[in-house]
Amino acid sequence: MKKELTCIVCPLGCSLEIEIGEDIIVKGNKCEKGKNYAIEEIKNPKRILTTTIKIKNGKYKVIPVKTTAPIPKEYIFPLLEKLSEIEISAPVPIGYKVLENIFQLSIDVITTRPMETKENTRKTKETKKST
């Protein structure tokens, strides 16, 4: 089987041609890093997932989250599905664990910002006004 990929290791963006047989043969790469990238992309492509989840009583209705490490691509949509059913409550700090050890990968899903409650946001505004 043949596959084409664009290398993203550096701005050069080499067009890679990959032959997948017993061995993986990479052509078009100008350096060793490109070869490693192609092999990893074929064998086990991984991505960090970032999305939002619902939050109760927060300053906003949703809060951004991420996986703590790249996850295999095939887990992206199942994880999105799972996260769409979750709702947390404000206040939460940054780095708060929303899900632990997803798909037994030793990877968590954490918040990427803190979020105050609605009431608290209002309060800080009023304090500012009085000073």
Residues engaged in binding another protein (CB under 8 A): 5-6, 8, 11-13, 30, 47-52, 54, 60-62, 64, 66, 73, 76, 80, 94, 112-114, 125, 128-129
* Burial of 98 (C-beta count, 10 Å sphere; 0-12/13-18/19+): middle
C-beta of residue 98 within 8 angstroms of C-beta of residue 65:
yes
Min dist CB 6 to another protein, Å, is: 5
Residue with smaller CB distance to another protein, 9 or 105: 9
Min dist CB 61 to another protein, Å, is: 4
C-beta of residue 30 within 8 angstroms of C-beta of residue 14:
yes
Q: What angle do CA 117, 119, 123 make, to 5 degrees?
A: 115
Residue with smaller CB distance to another protein, 54 or 103: 54
Min dist CB 106 to another protein, Å, is: 18
Residue with smaller CB distance to another protein, 52 or 57: 52
Residue with smaller CB distance to another protein, 1 or 23: 1
Residue with smaller CB distance to another protein, 9 or 25: 9
Q: How far apart are CA 92 and CA 114, in angstroms?
A: 6
Helix, strand, coil percent content, the chain, rounded in steps of 5: 30, 35, 35
Alpha carbons within 13 angstroms on the beta-carbon side of residue 52 total 10
Min dist CB 122 to another protein, Å, is: 11
Min dist CB 103 to another protein, Å, is: 17
